[in-house]
Amino acid sequence: MLWFIFAVMTATAVFAVLWPFGRKAAIRGGSDRLVYQDQLQEIARDRSAGLIGDSEAETARIEISRRLLAAADAEAQILPVAATQAAWHRRAAMIAAIVVAPAVALGLYLKLGAPDVPAQTAFARVNARQEHQSIAKLVNQVEAHLARDPADGAGWEVIAPIYLHMGRFNDAVEARRRAIALNGDTAARESDLGEALVAAANGVVTAEAKQVFQKAINKDPHEAQARYFLPLADQQDGNTAAAAVKWRALLDEAPPGAPWVEFVRTALAGVSGAPAAANGPTAVDIAAADTMTEEQRTAMIRGMVQRLAARLHADGSDMEGWLRLVRAYAVLGDRDKAKGAAADARRALSDHPDEIKRVDDLVKGLGLES
pLDDT at position 19 over 60: yes
Question: Do 256 and 316 form a contact (C-beta atoms < 8 A)?
Answer: no
What pLDDT is recorded for position 214? 94
For residue 278, report the phi and psi dihedrals to the nearest 5 degrees: -70, 150
pLDDT at position 216 over 80: yes
AA letter at 110: L
Length of the chain as a residue count? 370
Q: Would you call 149 exposed, middle or buried from its count of C-beta atoms within 10 A (0-12, 13-18, 19+)?
A: exposed
pLDDT at position 218 over 90: yes
pLDDT tens column, 224-280:
999 999 999 988 888 888 888 899 889 888 887 777 888 788 888 877 654 444 444
Distance CA 172, CA 194 (A): 11
Question: With DSSP H G I counted as helix, E B as strand and the rest as coil, what are the percentages for the chain, rounded to 5?
Answer: 75, 0, 25
Which residues, other chains included, contact 334 with Cβ-Cβ below 8 Å and sequence gap of 6+? none
Mean pLDDT of 149-155: 90
Which residues, other chains included, contact 357 with Cβ-Cβ below 8 Å and sequence gap of 6+? none
pLDDT tens column, 165-203:
888 899 999 999 999 999 999 999 999 999 999 988 878
Q: Would you call 226 exposed, middle or buried from its count of C-beta atoms within 10 A (0-12, 13-18, 19+)?
A: buried
pTM for the whole structure: 0.43
Question: 260-265: long-range contacts (C-beta < 8 A, 24 or more apart)?
Answer: 260/224, 260/225, 260/228, 263/228, 264/228
